[in-house]
Amino acid sequence: MYKGQRVVVVLPAYNAHKTLKKTYDEIPFDLVDEVVLCDDASQDDTLEVARQIGIRHTIRHQTNKGYGGNQKTLYNHALAIGADIIIMLHPDYQYTPKLIPAMVNMLGEDLYDVVLGSRILGKGALQGGMPIYKYIANRLLTFIQNLLVNHKLSEYHTGYRAFTRRVLEAIPYNDNDDDFIFDNEMLSQIIYAGFRIGEVSCPTKYFPEASSINLRRSTKYGLGVLAVSIKHFLQRAGVARFKLYRNINARGQSGDAGG
């Protein structure tokens, strides 16, 4: 716990048996109370490895529900077991668990409501192996998103995220897409609700076992990101109303903000 606040790490897993133990072993259990893993119908031994290393909360989807669908299951379970601070960590070891204490501190001290592990802060993204086309697309999309959603982040596309319970209870993430665009829909909802977002610099790690999406899916993702940002802009301007922002108001509490 951190000052009486229950800390839960959630692991969205898919074919992660080669890297799961290495990730798990670096989790700081002097702070973390529970780990929850959801196996999204992996075709390897991810679930067996999870149980062998002692993860008590394991869930398996019988059919693949997608990256967003996996997160929905994880966040719902984390809230159900009383989490106050929830950290989403990929079990492919692309993001280091050694940043968890910093992220927990930022939330636990009520400095921020959300903390993102940014691969773009600093100069380590390309040195860590991020493909040049992904780096350029990341920077370009982030620039456009900052303009459209009226915010300032170094990166919207990191998979390393930490939330307070209040954030997850305030946004309708269960209504979001089940694919990779889920992350950007969730951030858009968080920004629209007015929650405070902090960032920490996160080393970049690209290697064969780390998960990644191909160029075709990256292109689809990029177009989806732009669509979400345009919706955010139109909703904020009062020109249109979207289901994505339904039941969210500017204070991050329940209220009818979209149709």
DSSP string for the chain: -BTTB-EEEEEEESS-TTTHHHHHHTS-TTT--EEEEEE-S-SSSHHHHHHHTT-SEEEE-SS--HHHHHHHHHHHHHHHTT-SEEEE--TTSSS-GGGHHHHHHHHHTTS-SEEEEESSSSSHHHHTT--HHHHHHHHHHHHHHHHHHT---S-S--S-EEEEHHHHHHS-GGGS-SSTTHHHHHHHHHHHHT--EEEEE------TTS----HHHHHHHHHHHHHHHHHHHHHHHTS---GGGTT--TTSSS-----
pLDDT tens-digit series, residues 63-97: 999 999 999 999 999 999 999 999 999 999 999 99
What is the structure's pLDDT at 12?
97
Whether the per-residue pLDDT at 241 is higher than 80: the answer is yes
Q: Which residue has the higher pLDDT, 211 or 242?
A: 242
Tens digits of residue pLDDT in 191-200: 999 999 999 9
pLDDT at residue 256 in the model: 41
- Write down the pLDDT at residue 259: 39
Q: Give the pLDDT mean for 240-256.
A: 71
| The predicted structure's pLDDT at residue 168 | 98
- What integer pLDDT is reported at residue 254 of this predicted model? 37
Tell me the average pLDDT across 174-188. 96
% the chain with pLDDT above 90: 79
Q: What is the mean pLDDT of residues 189-214?
A: 82
Q: Which residue has the higher pLDDT, 47 or 253?
A: 47
Whether the predicted pLDDT of 125 surpasses 90: no
Given pLDDT bands bounded at 50, 70 and 90, which one contains residue 130? confident
What structural domains and CATH numbers belong to the chain? Answer: 7-245 (3.90.550.10)
Q: What is the pLDDT of residue 255?
A: 42
Average pLDDT of every residue of the chain: 91
The per-residue pLDDT for 72 is: 98
